[in-house]
Amino acid sequence: MSDLNLKKGTSAKSAYNLRPNFSDIVERHTLAVMVENEPGVLARVIGLFAGRGYNIESLTVAEVDHEGKLSRITIVTTGTPQVIEQIKAQLGRIVTVHDVHDLTVEGPSVERELAMFKVAGDGDKRVEALRLADIFRANVVDSTLKNFVFEITGAPEKIDAFADLMRPLGLVEVARTGVAALSRGI
Amino acid sequence: MTRQMTGAEMVVQALIDQGVDTVFGYPGGAVLPIYDAIFQQNHIKHVLVRHEQGAVHAAEGYARSTGKPGVCLVTSGPGATNAVTGLTDALLDSIPIIVLTGQVPTFMIGSDAFQEADTVGITRPCTKHNWLVKETNALASVLHEAFHVATSGRPGPVLVDIPKDVQFASGNYNAPQPSTSHYQPTVKGDITSITELVEAMEKAERPLFYTGGGVINSGPAASQLLRELVAATNFPITSTLMGLGAYPASGDNWLGMLGMHGLYEANMAMHGCDLMINIGARFDDRITGVISEFSPNSTKAHIDIDPSSINKVIRVDIPIVGDVGHVLEDLMKVWKSRGRKTNSAAVANWWSQIKEWQAIECLKFTQQGKVIKPQYALSRLEALTKNHDRYITTEVGQHQMWAAQYLGFEDPNRWMTSGGLGTMGYGFPASIGVQMGHPESLVINVAGEASWLMNMQELGTAMQYNLPVKQFILNNERLGMVRQWQELLHGERYSSSWSESLPDFVKLAEAFGAKGILCSDPDDLDEAIMEMLNHDGPVLFDCLVEKHENCFPMIPSGKAHNEMLLGDADTQGAIDAKGSVLV
């Protein structure tokens, strides 16, 4: 029925040619979301991710400005560039969200996560766990004759690596806080 | 100035201070103090609906036809849950409404008390924002902020949940001040992007304005600016269902509505344009058809106050975040200052192409025989009412699409229909809200018999307040749009799409004390419509129409704009397996 017989992308003006930056490659982004610290604000943010089918890899939230009643939510999410743009825009739409920063694109940033590891064992394994903890600058925060609780802070990759090492040495339980992140410079 | 009063009195005072004259609601245990306060004043008129869903749709109708926010008052638990459909409807169509719900006393929250529901939890995803007020001293500021949020930026529904003890207790009331909250959406567009759009407009060979409900939400000035811009550039213009009336249907550049049941010329122009200027529309799936084939050769500009609308569905080249009215004003300024240029020779060629498409006359129909065609019924309704001070609401389905095709809208705020959510049962209560806002005007709800029955209890409301709303029911004894899809997609297996056991609508009207008119003969139609118009009171017009009429043009699911079906002859195998899984 077409009188025009047009083919997608044949014109230099086609939107599909003009936006090569919208790739289909899934990226990992760390978002810092400043929100009013009021009841339900976290539910709004999480509900947005659940309702629209976005991913949450990690999420941390705590009040950072008591006087201004502001909390900072750090979300690590994945998606194509178009999805990431949508996530940011949708977050920005929430009435109690003040700012959304994409730390992944707004210049360099540092990410840290705190984790606690309970490792049980005896003999060589116990000594080895302690030795590796020292290399990773993990602190022993509790100890019994049968186990240690280590506390470690670092980038998520470092914590993953430490977890891999502890597993054969009697890893019982892990608690991780999720990522906190700040941009570098001012 | 701070004054002492109870929470319930604060609710009434805040509504008065916000300029509210009408509240749609239904009382119950958890809102009795507010109803008591309403009883003791004369500033605000309360309209008692027959179901809370009706209250919200009535508030939507009021808001859309007046440009002011609509207000509802309902009780806790079932009162609040019954409001959910209306809230979702208002969210999808960006309608500013404020819903006030009662809640069990604060000390009983969480105890599964009688008529307790987690109202803010339930309505969080279907409101723009909501609040649970736990202290009377916070109530006034929350109520004022609720009006600010509902009406600023992209408008939408908000809900304030007020526990009964907060209504009883006394506290400080403050009159509204300009909002100091963080929520202050940008209204001015970026001038660099606007200039970029002007440059594209100067060069465009096949430009097209594609406008939506954002123009109407922006206010009458935006519609005026749009008309000036279209006249000055001579570009063709089409609109979504939500945007009808922003540009007059009698205007020279009007192509009619676009989309799934849009006009041939509008959809072909969308497919063939080289510059698409989206003003306050959101690339809804009813508009785009299959996205991979959507307007493949155009540069796309998108003006929207909501940044999340941009690049959500369709990737655009020139995004402009701002209020339509403000952006159009700047756009006109820039375009004029650069010498009012367009590529007029190319645009003239574009128009001759469009004229060829228009010559197909995609809405043509033949009324013959003794059965009324729905298209004929609406054409007659249009002819006999277009010179009235007229407001139209609709339910959802085939009749809604025919109304959009066959009725002409000359001004904004004259057309109220459930676009985004597609809520059957919207139109009748909406017509009540419209009539409350415009007591002297002609208000017609174009309905299907099935949709109309979904909120038929509101006939009691129309009678009680003597609201002369005209219910123009195209009765095909079918869920017509469902039936059409079953014919095209499901091998003509008409599963549950018959309206069995229909009432006698004339007797039904009379049971409520209203007037009922039955019309089944095309020769009687004009006279019957005139009888409806001349009756001073609610009328139920039962128009028996052709039972198996399909709504065309139609872009089948999974197809592009240039693959429209124009009539029954085109439908054989029109929708493939891939298209049939789409809605």
Q: Are residues A97 and A142 in the same domain?
A: no
In this predicted structure, the answer to whether residue A15 has a pLDDT above a threshold of 50 is no
User: A14, B183: Cβ pair inside 8 Å?
Assistant: no
**Domain boundary residue, one of A102, A118, A136:** A102
User: Strand B157-163 vs strand B97-103: parallel, antiparallel, or unpaired?
Assistant: parallel
* Band of pLDDT at residue A10, cut at 50, 70 and 90: very low
Q: Is B498 helix (H, G, I), strand (E, B) or coil?
A: strand
Sort out which chain A residues have CB atoms less than 8 A from B124's CB and list them: 40, 43-44, 47
| Chain A residues inside the 8 Å CB shell of B314 | 15
CA distances from B115 to A9, B75, B85 (A): 58, 9, 19
The one-character DSSP state at B522 is: G
Domain boundary, last residue among A102, A134, A151: A102
Task: Write down the pLDDT at residue B169.
Answer: 98
- For B335-361, the pLDDT digits (tens) are 999 999 999 999 999 999 999 999 999
Separation in Å, CA A27 to CA A55, A80, A93, A102, A106: 11, 6, 22, 12, 15
B173-178 — which CB contacts under 8 Å span 24+ positions?
B173/B2, B173/B3, B173/B4, B173/B5, B173/B9, B173/B10, B173/B13, B173/B14, B173/B139, B173/B140, B174/B1, B174/B2, B174/B140, B174/B141, B174/B144, B175/B1, B175/B17, B176/B14, B176/B17, B176/B18, B176/B144, B176/B147, B177/B144
Check residue A17 and give its pLDDT.
34
Q: Do A2 and B563 touch (CB under 8 A)?
A: yes
Looking at residue B582, its pLDDT comes to: 72
- pLDDT at residue B575 greater than cutoff 90: no
Q: Which of B129, B274, B563 sits opposite A95 (nearest CB)?
A: B129
CA B108 to chain CA centroid, Å, is: 38
| pLDDT over threshold 80, residue B119 | yes
A128 and A78 both lie in a single domain = no
Domain closes at, from A70, A102, A134: A102
- Domain co-membership, A31 together with A46: yes
ipTM of predicted complex: 0.89
Contact (CB<8Å) A2/B562? yes
Query: Is A11 a member of any domain?
Result: no
Query: Hey, are the CB atoms on B121 and A82 less than 8 Å from each other?
Result: no
The token duo for B321 is: 């975040």
Beta strands across the sheet bearing B299-304:
B254-257, B237-239, B207-211, B275-279, B299-304, B318-321
Considering chain B, what is the average pLDDT of its residues?
96
Other Cβ atoms closer than 10 A to B65: 27
Beta bridge pairs of residue B129: B158
Choose among B272, B308, B315: nearest Cβ to A4.
Answer: B272
Q: Is the domain of A32 the same as that of A98?
A: yes
pLDDT in tens, A48-79: 999 999 999 999 999 999 999 999 999 999 99
Taking residues B306-331, report their average pLDDT: 95
DSSP H helices in B295-426 = 324-337, 344-358, 374-385, 398-406
Which chain A residues contact residue B88 at CB under 8 A? none
pLDDT above 90 as % of chain B: 92
Using the predicted structure, report yes or no on whether residue A18 has a pLDDT greater than 50.
no
The candidate with the shortest Cα–Cα distance to B442, out of B386, B526, B517, is B386
Residues A98 and A113 in one domain: no
Are residues A148 and A171 located together in one domain of the fold? yes
Neighbour-count burial of B263, counting CB atoms closer than 10 A to its CB (0-12 exposed, 13-18 middle, 19+ buried): buried
Q: What span, in angstroms and rounded, lies between the C-alpha atoms of A54 and A88?
A: 11
Within 8 A of B563 by CB-CB distance, chain A residues are 1-2
Structure tokens at A99: 């700012």
Q: Work out the pLDDT band at B567, boundaries 50, 70, 90.
A: confident
Reported pTM: 0.93
Query: Does one domain contain both A55 and A121?
Result: no
Whether B317 sits inside 8 A of A15 (CB atoms) is yes
Q: For testing the chain B interface, which of A54, A84, A93, A100 should be mutated: the one with the most B CBs within 10 Å?
A: A93
Which residues of chain B does A22 touch, with a Cβ-Cβ cutoff of 8 Å?
311, 315
The mean pLDDT value for B316-321 works out to 95
User: Is the same domain home to A97 and A113?
Assistant: no
Q: Which helix (H) or strand (E) holds B98?
A: strand B97-103
Residue B463 has pLDDT above 90, yes or no: yes
CATH number of residue A75's parent domain: 3.30.70.260
Task: Enter the tokens of residue B216.
Answer: 């109407």
| Beta-strand relationship, B254-257 and B275-279 | unpaired
The predicted model gives B519-544 an average pLDDT of: 98
Residue A151 forms part of a structural domain: yes
- A interface with B, Cβ–Cβ < 8 A, is 1-4, 6-11, 13-16, 18-19, 22, 36, 39-40, 43-44, 47, 51, 82, 85-86, 89-90, 92-96, 98
Nearest residue to B399 (alpha-carbon basis) of B418, B378, B385, B429: B378
Of A1, A11, A44, the CB nearest to B564: A1
Does the residue A170 lie in any domain?
yes
pLDDT of B198: 97
Of B124, B307, B314, nearest to A89 by CB-CB distance is B307
Q: Do B271 and A51 touch (CB under 8 A)?
A: no
d(CA B561, nearest CA chain A) in Å: 9
Closest CA to B289 of B562, B581, B558, B583: B558
Half-sphere exposure of residue B557, counting CA atoms within 13 Å on the CB side? 14
Among the listed residues B205, B189, B240, the one whose alpha carbon sits nearest the alpha carbon of residue B417: B240
Q: B98-137 in b/e burial notation, b at 16+ Cβ within 10 A?
A: bbbbbbbbbeeeeeebebbbebbebbbbbbbbbbbbbebb
CA-based nearest residue to B267, from B290, B234, B247, B246: B290
Provide the pLDDT for residue B33. Answer: 98
Residue A64 within a domain: yes
**3-class DSSP state for residue B197?**
helix
Nearest CA in chain A to B316: A15
Question: Quick check: B198 and B126 in contact, CB under 8 A?
Answer: no
Contact A133, A148 (CB under 8 A): yes
Residue A16 lies in a domain: no
Structural domain of A83: 27-102
Task: Count how many domains chain A has.
Answer: 2
Cβ B216 vs Cβ B246: under 8 Å: yes
* A40 belongs to a structural domain: yes
| Total length of chain A | 186
CB-closest option in B120, B296, B314 to A9 = B296
Q: Which residues of B touch A6 (CB under 8 A)?
A: 271-272, 296-297
Q: B173 has which bridge partners?
A: B3
Q: What is the CATH number of the domain that holds A144?
A: 3.30.70.1150
Cβ-based neighbour number of residue B368 at 10 Å: 9
Amino acid identity of residue B328, one-letter, is L
CB-based contact A85 B311, cutoff 8 Å: yes
A154 and A113 co-located in one domain = yes
Q: Which residue of A has its CA nearest to B356?
A: A3
Q: What is the mean pLDDT of residues B303-325?
A: 95
Residues of B taking part in catalysis? 52, 114-115, 164, 481
Best A2, A8, A10, A13 member to test B by mutation, with max B CBs in 10 Å, is A13
CA B431, CA B58: separation in Å to the nearest integer?
7
A1: in domain? no
Same domain as A172, residue A147 = yes
A14, part of any domain: no
The pLDDT of B367-372, averaged and rounded, is: 95
Same-domain status, A55 and A86: yes
- Check residue B483 and give its pLDDT: 95
